[in-house]
Amino acid sequence: MKIVLSGAFNRHFEALPEYLSSALRRLGHQVVPFDHRAFLIPGRLRAGLAFLDRFDHERLNSLLLRLIRRERPDLLIVNQGTVLVRRTVELARALGVRCVNWFSDFPAEFEEGLAIANVYDAFFLGSSFAARRHREAGHRHAAWLPFGCDPQTHHPDASAASGPGSFPAGGASTLPDGPPVVFVGSHYPERQILLRFLRGLPVGVWGPGWLRAANDPHVAPMIRGGALRPAAWRALYARCRVALNIHYGSFGPEDVSGDLANTRVFEIPACGAYQVVDRQGDVLRLFKEGQHLAAFSSGEELRARVVEALRDDDLRRAVAARGRAEVLAHHTYEHRACQLVDKVAVVADDAVPEARAAEGAPSRGATWGCAGGGAQRGPR
């Protein structure tokens, strides 16, 4: 199948568009990428001059239609892409192209997505809460499709056996030193508050904005640096003993966090790490606590889970191994790609699933695969 994949591509910071493109190719599809964020005019100028913003948006929409007319794809997959207007999608469909959107982020642009969803043949959302909101709005073609991992990229490091802080020869100058407990993510107040409970433990924190916590006597000693490139945070996860995952809007209202399982939920276990994560609803719908990961609902419980993992090597290794096996079996981007190309995927998923993992039932992810044998799996 020939597929035009429209996303925010960045060769220096690969993310969902790059992972999905690779997965589609591994499944045998021909992929034609389109960067719908390739604006000609800098954002600061577009923000102040409406006619420049309108010109650049119209230019991108015209470029996509020109690409579709030239390539004649079977399928257009858009990742988020609110820059693409309703008329563009309508014209693509009029040319015989099936149009699907994976609106993966939340809460970013949620209302814009709600307004444009009905122009697509299928509309997938990264949060079950968001998918439920769409269904309530009458979008019967909307369904939940969580993030995933790329086994070709997210995997344990062969040198990790040397222990935390060890890096392969030749890489020490470009990769950060790794403490036993790591957190990689942007600064948000709720994250800073929760990390205070880990004072005195061997924790390293990286990510944009953490200089705001430089005067916090409990958190400041943990701060190691700012934003990391993907190769660096993958190396940290592969070598740490505990990888922390604190969602945006953790323990806040559902319409803030979307009950979302973020990308790290899948990437951390794929890298072979023991994950300690806040109890988001979608996390517990997809994974079994104590089997695939450890979870917490308070700062005190966060500290208890981290201390427990640092003291019990066997527990940590067993849970990390089961977590990795689970994401490879059910939650790769090849599994997600299969849903995106399947014309009956949304029809088959008639209801947004409720929590089942906590009851001991099989993971919802068991149904996210290719018809006739499941998605191809990466190396374990």
The reported pLDDT for the residue numbered 175 is: 59
Q: What is the pLDDT of residues 67-85, one digit of tens each?
A: 999 999 999 999 999 999 9
The reported pLDDT for the residue numbered 65 is: 99
| Together in a domain, 134 and 176 | no
The CATH number of the domain where 7 resides is what? 3.40.50.2000
354: in domain: no
Single out the residue in 115, 144, 173 at which a domain terminates: 144
| Together in a domain, 112 and 8 | yes
Q: What is the pLDDT of residues 311-343, one digit of tens each?
A: 999 999 999 999 999 999 999 999 999 999 998
| Together in a domain, 178 and 279 | yes
| Together in a domain, 79 and 169 | no
| Together in a domain, 57 and 112 | yes
Quote the domain boundaries for residue 238.
158-330
| Together in a domain, 134 and 276 | no
Contacts of 287 by beta carbon, 8 Å cutoff, 6+ apart: 265, 293, 323, 326, 357, 363
Single out the residue in 293, 308, 330 at which a domain terminates: 330
Q: What domain count does the chain have?
A: 2
351: in domain: no
195: in domain: yes
The reported pLDDT for the residue numbered 108 is: 86
| Together in a domain, 7 and 41 | yes
| Together in a domain, 132 and 219 | no
DSSP 323-367: HHHHHHHH-BHHHHHHHHH-TTHHHH--SPPPP-GGGTPPPGGGG
| Together in a domain, 132 and 191 | no
The reported pLDDT for the residue numbered 349 is: 57
What residues in the chain have per-residue pLDDT under 70? 158-177, 347-369, 371-380
